[in-house]
Structure 1
C-alpha cells in the first residue's frame, strides 16, 4: 500500500448525509485523503478536494459548483485544477493568504460563514507550521475538520471511533469537544456519521494518555 496515491483514480463515495457527501479518490492509499462537498440551495461547495475520474458527474447530480474551500495550508490538493475546470474561485481564511501563490485561479477570503450556506468558519490553529480552520453547521449538526481529527489508521488507537492527529496528541484540539454535533467529516478517513460528539469528546479527553500506545503502534507499522 502506497502512502499517497497517484495516477489512475478509483472514486469511492463516502459520508453521504442530507446536504453533503464525501469521496476517496484513492481508496487504497495509506493517507486516506478524503474530500467533501456540501450543497446549499443548489450550490455545491467543495472542501479540500482530490480530483478523480467521474467526480464531475457526481457533482452534477448535486447542483452547480459554486467554489472550492481550502481549510488547511497544506491541503492544496487539486483545488486549483477543479476550480479552473468549473470557472470558480478558491476560498480560504484571510489569515491563510500565504497559500495564494499556489493557485492560478482567483482566491477569495472566507468570512465568518461560507457564503450563506450556514457553515460557520472557525480558526483552529494559526502558526508558521500549521494553519487550520474548520467548519461548523449548528443547524444540521455537522463539523468539518481537515486535519486535527481523522479516522485513517494512523490516527486511531485503543478502539477510538475518531482520533487526534499524531502530531497533536499532546496538545489536542479541546475546543472541538465542546460541539454537540451529530456527525464529523474529516480530511483523512471516512467520517463519523452518528453520535459524533461523544466520539470527539472521548478522543480529545484521552488524547495524551493514549499517545504512547499510538506511537508504539506507528513504530511497529513502520518497522514491518
Structure 2
C-alpha cells in the first residue's frame, strides 16, 4: 500500500497558488502532498519527502516572490509522514490543530498549535472529523479568496476511493457516514491527501461524491474485494 524503496517525485495539481506531488507514484495509497504559496511564505501540507522536493518548493516560492517556508502542517493524525524531517531541514515548525492529540509528542521538531486561520495564510481551518471510533482526527483548510479546499483524508481520488463513475470519492470507511461538514463549501479546486486533486468542476465533483457516498458503497466494496482477491 505505502511506497518502499526509492522515492520518485511526480508533480501533480499545479495551479496559480501552489503545487502538489506524489513521492511514490506506484504505490496504491497515492499519498499526495502540497505546497501552498501565500504572502508569508510556502506552507507544506502533509509532506512526504523525495529527491527533488526542495527544488520544487524553491520553484513555487520563486513564482510567489518569497524564499521562505512558513511552516509544515499535519492535517490528519495519521499523516505525520516526513513532516518533522522537512521542517528541520527548512528551519521551520510543524503546525498542528490545537485540538489534535497524540501527534506532537511523536514529532522530532518544534511544534506550533493553531486554530482558525493557519498563520496569516488566508486558509481557514475547520474540523472535518474528530472521533475515537474509528480513531480519526482530521482538519480541512479553505481559502475563500482562491476557492482552494484541502481535504487530507475524507475524500480522495486514488483508485480505492472511487466507484467506477466517480471523479472524487468518499473514503471507504466513511461511505455510510459521509462528512456533512464539507457540504457547506463551493470550491474552485480540491486538493486531497490521496491522489491528484480536482482542479475543474470541483464543486460539482464534491456534491456528487457526498450525494452518492452511500448508494455507491456496495459497488466500491465489491471492486475493492475483487482487487484484493485478484491481486
Aligned to 1:57: 55
Mapped partners of 2:60, 2:200: distance in 1:
23
Where 1:143 maps in the other structure, the secondary structure is strand
What are structure 1's unaligned runs of at least 5 residues? Answer: none
**1:95 aligned to 2:93?**
no
Aligned to 1:184: 190
Q: Cα distance, 1:42 vs. partner?
A: 5.7
CA shift digits 1:68-125 (9 cap, x unpaired): 0101000000001101111111001011132111112111111201111110000011
Mapped partners of 1:143, 1:86: distance in 2:
25
**1:206 aligned to 2:212?**
yes
Q: Cα distance, 1:177 vs. partner?
A: 2.5
Assess if the C-alpha contact under 8 Å between 2:160 and 2:224 holds in 1: yes
- TM-score normalised to the size of structure 1? 0.97
Aligned to 2:155: 149
Aligned to 1:118: 122
Mapped partners of 1:105, 1:4: distance in 2:
23
Where 1:109 maps in the other structure, the secondary structure is strand
Q: Cα distance, 1:32 vs. partner?
A: 0.2
Stretches (4+) displaced over 3 A: none
2:24 to 14, 23, 26: 26
Mapped partners of 2:184, 2:203: distance in 1:
8
What are structure 2's unaligned runs of at least 5 residues? Answer: 62-67
Aligned to 2:167: 161
Mapped partners of 2:181, 2:22: distance in 1:
27
**1:44 aligned to 2:50?**
no
Mapped partners of 2:23, 2:212: distance in 1:
32
